[in-house]
Amino acid sequence: MKVKTILVSQPEPKMENSPYSKLIDKAKVKVDFRPFIHVEGVDAKSVRQQKIDLNNYTAIILTSRNAVDHYFRIAEEMRFKVPDSMKYFCQSEAVAYYLQKYVVYRKRKIYVGKMNFADLAALFKKYKDEKFLLPSSDSLKSIVPETLNKIGIDWTRGIFYKTVISDLSRSSQCLLRCACFLQSFGH
């Protein structure tokens, strides 16, 4: 059986000289790029139902770019002007730099961890009097609440976005072909 279509569960590469373009040319196959999961934002009504009032928080804990995007999206939906005095605690430098999309970086109080969440613990202890908001997905690594509870700070988790399974119904034939392809190799 000849493979005609391959399903790849990641975004399509922007480069023309990617390994996928070489595969397409060499093997004469069609490659479908479809993520198996994606992120959907919840609406402001759902955030209000969680009893979250953005005015009550003086610091934001940002663990990902999605958290940044959805925090500012919800703030806009709720017509909340984020104050200049807001403190941002970012899990990594990448998240902190991404924050520049929404705020003037040099004028804000931005604190950055090395790479993992536990690195922020010393910073949280230093600013114990702040009231923290953690905008997150519906699925959250257990180390995050464990670390925050262990430190003993005043924090609230808000589900601002959800991780959902993508609709792959258009790719069902492709999935079947991929399964057959993998079976032929003994996987």
For residue 63, the domain's CATH number is 3.40.50.10090
Indicate the length of the chain as a whole number. 187
Q: Which domain holds residue 51?
A: 39-164
Q: In this predicted structure, what is the pLDDT of residue 5?
A: 84
Residues 26 and 67 in one domain: no
What residue ranges in 94-185 does DSSP mark as E strands?
A: 109-112, 131-137, 154-165
Residues 26 and 115 in one domain: no
Residues 81 and 111 in one domain: yes
For residue 161, what are the β-bridge partners? 41, 137
φ/ψ (deg, to 5) at 115: -160, -40
pLDDT in tens, 12-24: 888 777 888 888 8
Residues 90 and 180 in one domain: no
pTM for the predicted model, two decimal places: 0.77
Phi-psi region of 17 (alpha: psi -120 to 50; beta: other; left: phi over 0): alpha
Residues 59 and 27 in one domain: no
Residues 22 and 52 in one domain: no
